[in-house]
Amino acid sequence: MNPFQQLSFTVSVARLADLPASEREVAIAGRSNAGKSSLINTLACRKRLAYVSKTPGRTREINFFRVAAGRFVVDLPGYGYARVPLPVKEGWQQLVSGYLAGRPSLAGLVLLMDVRHPLTPLDRQLLAWLTPSGKPVHAVLTKADKLSRQGAARTLAEVRKVLEREAPAVSLQLFSSFTRQGVDELAERLATWLEIKNAPG
């Protein structure tokens, strides 16, 4: 059984002081329109576990989803897109940077990028900031169904070349919430990071 079918919302946190106790967790980051909520819902085989907004940038807190005892999937606020006042955006950035820099239970980070617009300056900035931390990073090219199979494969190869040069430790895959492409691959990686058993299906 896929353990992520047991995902349940736990808490939303707006201050670092309110972060819940955790043994191991994986965080999901990306631009506000990269499909974070859809990815979480697809992993969990649920439609409305994580809220999917038509207005990118609505997630303003760190959201924790429990996988198993002491294990969490963490949805970080999206960056770089939301049309919000600068002080609010700076508050998000401080919250996320503080979490990433000081969370000892963080086992790995998933960076989501729209397959049609990968490796934006903000994506590269986040990669450059994360790589020296020593935390494993897995890049996911979302919305793969928006391109032809050949187009998606070509983009995957192009992004892989860039990562090999700029961030060689970062792994990479295609993903589609619509066709469920890459779901088992991602679930297996997250289960490994979280040190829980995963049997896709």
Do strands 24-30 and 8-13 pair parallel, antiparallel, or not at all (unpaired)? unpaired
Q: What is the pLDDT along the chain (201 residues), one digit of tens a residue?
A: 688 988 999 999 989 999 999 999 999 988 877 888 899 999 998 887 876 444 444 457 899 999 999 999 999 987 765 555 666 666 677 888 889 888 999 999 999 999 999 999 888 887 877 777 788 999 999 999 999 999 999 999 999 999 999 889 999 999 999 999 999 999 999 999 999 975 443
Q: For residue 27, what are the domain limits?
A: 3-194
CATH of the domain at 14: 3.40.50.300
Q: How many structural domains is the chain composed of?
A: 1
In a domain, 80, yes or no: yes
In a domain, 200, yes or no: no
Query: What pTM was estimated for this model as a whole?
Result: 0.89
Q: Where are the alpha helices (DSSP H) in the chain?
A: 36-44, 86-102, 121-130, 149-166, 183-194
Structure tokens at 159: 């992004």
In a domain, 97, yes or no: yes
In a domain, 153, yes or no: yes
Proportion of the chain in helix, strand, coil states, percent, rounded to 5 = 40, 25, 40
